[in-house]
Amino acid sequence: MTTLFQQLINGLSLGSIYALLALGYTMVYGIIKLINFAHGDIYMLGAFWGYYTINFWHFNFIFALLSAMVVCAAAGVIIEYFAYRPLRHAPRITALITAIGVSYFLENGMSYLYGADTRDFPQVIKQVNYNLWGVRVSNIQILILVTACLLMVMLQLIIKKTKMGRAMRAVSVDPDAAELVGININRTISFTFALGSSMAGAAGVLIGLYYNSIDPLMGMTPGIKAFVAAVVGGIGSVPGASLGGFLIGLLETAVQSVGLSAYKDAAVYLVLIIILLVLPAGIFGKNVKEKV
C-alpha cells in the first residue's frame, strides 16, 4: 500500500506537467482545429528562460515562472502571426506540416545558439523530503502539483468568466457567426495561443525544477505525450486535457514502478491506440457529425 501511494504522488507530480502542456494543444485545436506540434518546443523555451533568469539574473522561483509564462506567451503569438495565420484557410495538412517545421526550427535553432548539451537546472528551491506514513513526498513535488492545479483553475476561470473567454468559446463553436456579432477573430486566436503557450512556459520551469536538467530536444517526447493526453481526455475539452495529463502521468509512473521503464513510452502510445478504437472522441469529447 505504501508503494502504491508513493507511485500515486510521483504520478500526480509528473501528470500535472503533462496536463499543463495538454491544455495548449486542446485550446488551439478547439479554436482553429490545428494540432500545434511546436507546442512542446515552447515548453523547452520556458525551461531555458527559467534557467537563464535564475542563473544570471538571480530571479527567485516566482519571478522565473511568471517571466517564462510572459516570454512563452509572446513566442506563441509571434509563431501564430507569422507561421499559422497566413495558412488559416489552407488545407489542414499544410498547417500541420508547418507546425512540424516550426518545431524543428526551434529545436535546431536552440541547439545552434546554445549547444545541444544537457544543462543542470539551478535549484532555486532547496529540496526538503517529508515522510508521511512511509510515503516520501518532497516540497518540490508539492510545489509543482499546487502550482499546476492553481494555473489550471485560473485558466478555467478565464475561459468561463471573462469576456475574452466567452469570445474563445464562441469562435470555437462558429467562427463566422462570432465574427458577425463583432468578435475580433485574429485577436481571439492570438490570445488563445498566448494562453496555451504561457501554460507550456510554466510547465518548462516546473519540469526543470523536478528533473534538474534541460536540453534543446527536451520538448519532443513530452510534447507528444501531452498530445496523447489531450486526445485521451477529449481534444477540445479543457477539463479533459487536465484529466488526460494526470492519467498519462500515473500510467507512466506505474509502468516504471513494475520495472518496465524501457516501455513507458510504448505504454502511452498503446493507450492512445486503445482510446482511438474504443472512444475516438476521448473521455470528455463529443462526437460531432460533419456534412460531407
Q: How far is CA 280 from CA 80, 233, 275, 283, 285, in A?
A: 28, 10, 6, 9, 8
pLDDT in tens, 128-157: 888 877 788 899 999 999 999 999 999 999
- With cell 481526455, the residue in question is 233
**pTM summary value:** 0.92
pLDDT in tens, 44-63: 999 999 999 999 999 999 99
Give the pLDDT of residue 287.
59
- Sites in the chain below the pLDDT cut of 50: 290-292
Stretch (H or E) spanning 160: helix 139-161
- Torsion over CA: 87, 88, 89, 90 (sign): positive
pLDDT in tens, 215-235: 999 999 999 999 999 999 988
Give the pLDDT of residue 1.
67
Helix, strand, coil % over all residues of the chain, rounded to 5: 75, 5, 20
Give the pLDDT of residue 291.
46
**Residues facing residue 129 across a β-bridge:** 138
Could you write out the DSSP letters of every residue in 234-262? Answer: -TT-HHHHHHHHHHHHHHHHHHHHTT-GG
Give the pLDDT of residue 100.
94
Give the pLDDT of residue 251.
93
Measured in Å, how far apart are the chain's first and last C-alpha atoms? 53
